[in-house]
Amino acid sequence: MRLAGRRLVLGVSGGIASYKTCTLARRLTEAGALVDVVLTRAAAEFVGPVTFEALTGRPVLTSLWDRGRPLSHIHLAHDPELVAVAPATAHLLARAAQGLADDPLTAILLAANVPVLLAPAMNDRMYAHPATQRNLATLRERGWTIVGPATGGLAEGPSDLAGRMSEPEELFAWIERLLRAGKSALAGKRVVVTAGPTREALDPVRVVTNRSSGRMGYALAEAAFARGADVLLLSGPTTLPAPAGVALERVETTEQLAGAVGAALKRADVLVMAAAPSDFRPASPAKQKRPRGGKGLTLTLAPTPDVLATTKRLRKRGATVVGFAFETGAALKRPRQKLVDKALDLVVVNCADEPGAGAEVETNRVTLLTREGQRELPLMSKRDVAEQILDAVEQLR
């Protein structure tokens, strides 16, 4: 569990979005965090303390005057590694900006000497009001992290303006980053990750592509963001949602991927080439859809650019470069040669023909190959594989 034993306070103020905080509390607890929930009086009108006690397995603080718990707000201000407030209403933001301490949550915010994350949620006009914007500016100057708000439906109806609280998974990603970044060698580094397949046009309707889903590259981008890195994800066509906090640039063809990688390399401290670019493209793509016909179709394929090879002369000095080898069988001869020929620091060897591994699944089994040796990993989720790969990258750096 990535957050095992990490302690945080999860504050909840009185907004309808507090129902989403239940999901966040459960997600944090499942990740191993010790979550102490603090409700304002208004928040308890939306979601009762029993709900959060059931989700976290820990008592919930609702009042400065709870019997048997003297000075709980002071202990909670000193013990945690992070204080997060979701939702943070306009009223809560105003009180926090002014340094008020008239309930447990604002008292904790005033006494805490740890990172603070706020997830604003309110009516779009309330959010846009100059008073709210000044309060947010004050809190940012204090060094607090503000996540959101997003656009979308509000309690009173549809809206295309900001006001809606960010989704629990996005808030989880930011909380994980704030908790983990301080212990990572990747914090503050520029990490470029490629992901997914590329597609080469046969005609305006058909393409030549491969089975890559992009899950491995997206998991690597998420894991690098959690470690505090500045992440750029260069993605071929996938159906995956953009990872929270990650800059996403989409490409279609192998040539476009090569151009995007080349442009990003000047600043990249780490390059992770998890994409599966098409090795060939139709030599003469048709401008109109080819008729089906009855005699079949003979294609002439031309090689596409070797994206990883083209990076050798463009890499930033001292950059760590990770390549992937998508192989069938257990042979490592070609990946070892790839390590040398393309001047890589690490090659991740995917087994394409092993059950539960490779493309179009959520798990993977890989071998990590460096000049010093190799390490085989058991079958695990692609996010867990990503953590192992980035552990190896940090050791190499």
Angle at 349 between CA 346 and CA 350, to 5 degrees: 145
What are the residues whose beta carbons fall under 8 Å from the beta carbon of 157, sequence distance 6 or more? none
Any catalytic annotation for residue 350? no
- Which of 123, 135, 210, 350 is catalytic? The answer is 210
- CA–centroid distance for 101 within its chain: 34
* Cα–Cα dist 214/236, whole Å: 8
* Cα–Cα dist 282/297, whole Å: 12
Question: How is residue 26 written in tokens?
Answer: 């459960």
What are the residue numbers of the active site? 210
